[in-house]
Amino acid sequence: MPRRTRAASPTRPARAKDAVLDYPGYALKSGILAPSTIRAVQQRLNQVGCGPISVSGVFDRATQEAVRLLQARSVDGQGQSLKIDGVVGPLTWAALFGAHRVPSIATTPISALMKATLSIAASQVGVMEDPSGSNRGPKVDEYLKAAGIDPSTGSYAWCAAFVYWSFKQAATRLGTTNPAIRTAGVLDHWKKAGQAGVTRLVAGQILDDLSLLKPGLVFVINTGGGYGHMGLVEDFRDDRLVTIEGNTNLPGDREGVGVFRRSGRTISDINQGFLSYDSQSHASS
């Protein structure tokens, strides 16, 4: 009787399946051609009770409606309701496959200036106004003066000044030109950056292509009435931005009192956009 040999193990299908469980780096929606990833999403939607839909690899209307159902039933890692738009972005992907499947950006290659700027900004975490709520204090005054503001002449919001100061300190350390716009105004910074040719990105662009999200980006929020808030992106972890911000607080109340590292903002919260000073050649004083 011939000796029986053990059959060779077939290629493990789960290995290929596991690979597509990591967020692909772009939003899945109607018109996107990514058959294997869309099939994984469709299969998962069926598994979690948002089907039945065909596992076709085509992001059709039935898939969009199933995604909307998932979004209506789910919350993000902070317990906040998902936007019901039928698009599988980072937050919806995390709801489907787990937040750990949306990668950190901390190891993304960035310039020496960006690294130095983030390092200097991080060294300021814990700086507080003195007295609290005054928009003053030894370090706060230093930030404002760097941006061209005399803090003794009034009470000034200082989040934009903090960003500028961080870039200025980094540029001095490296012996290079500071590319950041010198202003203490958030929306003034956004406007002048555009005029100077600084790369500006809106949230939708980053949600469609997560590779655009890098450490060192400056986020800009328009709060209305000509006012805004800004800070530096440090990482993207567990479906949320990790940011370093001046003139803020951890609860997110209106009155900012210091420099904090925050981890509660989503990409879509950034309603004005992001500025990239990486490899910018224009200069500021």
Looking at residue 212, the DSSP 8-state letter turns out to be G
Domain carrying residue 79: 13-101
Q: Do residues 182 and 283 touch, judged by C-beta distance below 8 A?
A: no
Q: What is the pLDDT of residue 20?
A: 59
Q: Do residues 139 and 257 touch, judged by C-beta distance below 8 A?
A: no
> For all residues of the chain together, what is the average pLDDT?
89
Paired residues of 242 in beta bridges: 235
Q: What CATH number does the domain containing 30 carry?
A: 1.10.101.10
285's tokens:
């004083």
Is the backbone peptide bond immediately before 131 cis, with ω within 30 degrees of 0?
yes
Q: Diameter of the chain by CA atoms?
A: 100
Examine the fold and report which residue of 39, 67, 101 is the final residue of a domain before the chain moves on. 101
253's tokens:
């109340």
220-269 pLDDT, tens digit each? 999 999 999 999 999 998 778 999 999 999 876 667 899 999 998 999 99
Residue 237 belongs to a domain:
yes
Residue 4 belongs to a domain:
no
What CA–CA distances, in Å, run from 110 to 19, 75, 115, 117, 120? Answer: 26, 32, 7, 11, 15
Neighbours of 75 (CB within 10 A): 12
Tell me: do 177 and 264 sit in the same domain. Answer: yes
134-189 pLDDT, tens digit each? 999 999 999 999 999 999 999 999 999 999 999 999 999 999 999 999 999 999 99
Q: Do residues 220 and 236 touch, judged by C-beta distance below 8 A?
A: no
Tell me: do 84 and 136 sit in the same domain. Answer: no
Residue 30 belongs to a domain:
yes
Q: What is the pLDDT of residue 176?
A: 96
The CA distance from 147 to 188, in Å, is 12
Tell me: do 147 and 266 sit in the same domain. Answer: yes
Tell me: do 97 and 125 sit in the same domain. Answer: no
Q: How many domains does the chain have?
A: 2
Examine the fold and report which residue of 77, 101, 125 is the final residue of a domain before the chain moves on. 101
Residue 6 belongs to a domain:
no
